[in-house]
A and B are shown apart, each in its own frame.
Chain A
Amino acid sequence: MTTEAATIGLTHGGSEDTGLGHRGPESKSIVVPYGFWLFVLSDMILFSALFATYATLVHATAGGPTTNQLFDRNLVAIETVALLLSSFTCGLAMIAAKRKNMVWTQGWLLVTGLLGAVFLFIELYEFAMMIGEGAGPQRSAFLSSFFTLVGCHGAHVTAGLLWIGTMMAQIWAKGFKDHILRRLLCLSVFWHALDIIWVAIFTIVYLIGTLP
């Protein structure tokens, strides 16, 4: 089996492990991120249902404002830059954590959290503006689906901020233990996934919505 696997290139690094679990239970460092990946995938499906809802209802404005009248590309551009940058700094935090550098890990995590907070602040500002103009989620089915899709992403970012705070406290109190590092890896997977979803929201909601 193993030689066969080696000839078709299933193994890597000279290891006999095919990665398919033939050799018994995998170690925690594989199992935990794998399970978390599955959770993230189910989260993606959650968002796909929200995207489908948005696509169905985007023209159901009930005589109210349309996408073109509401969205401000400049504001969203700043928001996007903040979130994409935070993904980059999250990656830097992971590199620092791998080197068990307390100061840089905490520093980059803090920057990540702050950029996330900037993103969230702009989003809430946009929401408040729209509600102030009478374009709240109760106005039309389109606005209901807009606020739910974007708001659900925002709720995920909020949860991510809570998680970042908790992880900073844990690293501070417990140092770079194996299980802490595994959690940090899951956090970064979560944070990058939020970025991917944001790119889809940016394209489908804001870019297409502001086409002339």
Chain B
Amino acid sequence: MLGKLGWDAIPFHDPIPLITSLVVMVAMAGIAIWVWRKGWWPYVWNQYITSTDHKKIGIMYIVLGLLMLVRGFADAIMMRLQQSMAIGASQGYLPPEHYNQIFSAHGTIMIFFVAMPLVIGFMNFVVPLQLGVRDVAFPTMNNVSFWLTASGALLINLSLFLGEFARTGWLAFPPLSEKEFSPGVGVDYYLVALQISGVGTVLTAVNFVTTILKIRAPGMSYLRMPVFCWTSLAANLLILAAFPVLTVTLGLLMLDRYLDFHFFTNDGGGNSMLYMNLIWVWGHPEVYILILPAFGIYSEVAATFSGKPLFGYRSMVFATLAICIISFCVWLHHFFTMGAGADVNAIFGIASMIIAIPTGVKIFNWLFTMYGGRVRFSVPMHYLIGFMLTFVIGGLTGVLLAIPPVDFIVHNSLFLIAHFHQVIIGGVVFAIMAAYTYWFPKAFGFTLHEGLGKAIFWCWFIGFHLAFMPLYVLGFWGATRRMQHIPDATWEPWLNVALLGAVIIGIGVVLTVVQLWYSIKTRDQRLDVTGDPWDGRTLEWLTLSPPPHYNFAVLPDVHGEEAYWTRKQTAIKLEQLIKEPDYQPIEMPIDTPTGVICAFFASVCGFAIIWHIWWLAILGLIGAFAVFVWYAWQDEHEHIIPVEEVRKNARERRRIRMEHLHTLSQST
């Protein structure tokens, strides 16, 4: 009746996961009750959970990503603690089977449920605003995508309380991940959670490629789009081309595990290197799916806080697309040791090094943007500079790793770990923190506390270097990754420095929470009245903060690059706004619970598959199909915002802008 599920699935004997999951459950129940007591459930349900507004969906993605960041970070600090303790005679506090689950969960969560939701969240929030339009191409599907991602995150975290997580590393390489060697539900949690969230990600890509190519404000030609839109386009094209391969790869492993197929098994003609090839055909573009939007964020920050147009806009676009294409030609550098031969390894090694060229172009463009500009050293600018310093080193160690003979030596060592954390933390996480600070006022109407923001930056910057520079050294000394026990006592000082670094990053994470709380408490001191707190250059700063549901009362007419900057300078020069346009009623998509119900059935079905509860799996599938048909049967998918409301809001915005214009022209 309940498949493999029984009382033994709950980790009674294991205090760490048991207590953690109990605390999390109590906290979640507490928050739910608190929201209910305050009477906020209708608001949360109507304004967020069922919302088809790209801004609200973006915020939900970002909240999900930040919550999962805390989970992933807890895993990280547990690993650092273990490696500092389990040296020589000591075995530390984590037994191997638990330690293996922790590093697997850390990688899986950080990539799929931290980096991806955060990057997609910022795309959601920003891209339609920057394109000067009212929503994405498929607003309901957008909501569905988010809830499918959340469903995957739920299943991953459920493994803490029911059963176990995979002990196979974040990519679950066979034959270790086959049923023979991993008979438990851990790998199944991994596979099912990623399949569900993967569907959400592909739908997001369909949505954003369509939006960017087909839904733009009048006059917004391709070479007038902000660079963040370009990099989002490139990232979504990569998702569209890479994620189906992940679906296939994980699907084949599921067939092996559930139905005794022989794709990657040791017997029956299976070939585990096929898995390596397939997973990295997805895995390498995935790196660029994360870093390209980050490059876009840095481009926006560089131009805004240098008070100058981005240097080399067209070369930036060209570099983005070059990276987008070359990223599909380098996957083999993840397993040079496979033994494909010198020729193949050389080709992939050279292709990997070539990627450094367009990336270098970008670095120089940001530097030249700053050169001669009026640089304001606000928090996002700190992250930009910190990123450039960190990322260049990370890029250089990457070029080292791309040399096959070197790779043979440092393959799977802590050198590799240091390299990819350097590009992901120094590249993606810094960008996310910059974007969080930069676009926060647009989302909520007030800025974050600047001093605390700088403190957080220094925690990340110093903490990161302390945590990962020692790993380069250890990697050269032969320390391999994923070690539950450290045999060589001379490594201890370096591991302790790494632990110290992780603690400093931890202080940064705590300060982020403090900053949010303090900024909300003292928001009256930092209200963003004008909608343009940073003297921005792109269209999201044209509308108020937070923007109305429909973003723009009238779609802006774009003339030239830097749509908003041009318009703002004209207004300042003429000391007047453009002539009041003729307002029209606006048609907007209605909110719908389709996404959350769909994800409910997906979670039920996924859970049932993990635990082999077949009747429940079939029930879940039927439920999902029924929701689909029910939604398709609805006739009304849009509602009309009356022209009076549009006009009233727009006039209010014009009044605020006029006042702002007067202060500006008086100050100059």
A residues with CB within 8 A of B:
1, 20-26, 30-31, 34-35, 38-39, 41-43, 45-46, 49-50, 52-53, 56-57, 60-62, 137-142, 144-145, 147-148, 162, 166, 170, 173-174, 179, 183
Contact = CB atoms under 8 A, between A and B. Distances in A.
Given A35-B207, A162-B625, A26 B214 contact: yes
Given A42-B202, A46-B244, A137 B269 contact: no
A62 B262 contact: yes
Contact of A53 (B222, B259, B278): B278
B240 interface: yes
A140 B240 contact: no
B274 to A, nearest CB: 5
21 contacts: A1-B221, A25-B215, A34-B210, A35-B137, A39-B202, A45-B240, A45-B241, A45-B245, A46-B248, A49-B278, A52-B278, A53-B263, A57-B274, A60-B270, A60-B271, A62-B269, A138-B260, A140-B269, A141-B262, A144-B255, A162-B625
* Main SS at interface, chain A: helix
Given A24-B217, A25-B215, A138-B259, A57 B271 contact: yes
Contacts of A50: 248
A38 B209 contact: yes
Contacts of A174: 635
Given A31-B214, A46-B248, A166 B632 contact: yes
A147 B259 CA distance: 12
B240 A41 contact: yes
A140 B262 contact: yes
A56 B202 CA distance: 26
A170 B263 contact: no
B237 to A, nearest CB: 9
Nearest to B132: A24
A174 B252 CA distance: 41
A22 B133 CA distance: 13
Interface string B216-254: 111111100000000000000000110111011101100
Interface string B624-638: 010001001101010
Interface residues of B, number: 52
Contact of A21 (B215, B247, B632): B215
B269 A38 contact: no
A35 B205 CA distance: 10
Nearest to B134: A25
A139 B259 CA distance: 11
A29 B267 CA distance: 52
B550 to A, nearest CB: 13
Contact of A140 (B216, B222, B255, B268): B268
Given A144-B255, A170-B633, A34 B269 contact: no
Nearest to A38: B206
A49 B216 contact: no
B261 interface: yes
A93 B211 CA distance: 30
Contacts of B269: 57, 60-62, 140-142
A56 B137 CA distance: 39
Contacts of A137: 255, 259, 261
A166 B215 CA distance: 29
B189 to A, nearest CB: 22
A34 B214 contact: yes
A35 B215 CA distance: 11
Interface in B400-437: none
Give 6 nearest A-B pairs by CB, closest first.
A60-B269, A141-B269, A46-B244, A144-B261, A62-B269, A49-B248
B555 interface: yes
Contacts of B214: 21, 25-26, 30-31, 34
A179 B268 CA distance: 50
A22 B281 CA distance: 35
A35 B206 contact: yes
Contact of A62 (B248, B267, B625): B267
Contact of A42 (B222, B240, B278): B240
Point out which of A30, A60, A144, A147 has the most chain B C-beta atoms below 10 A from its C-beta: A144
Contacts of A41: 240
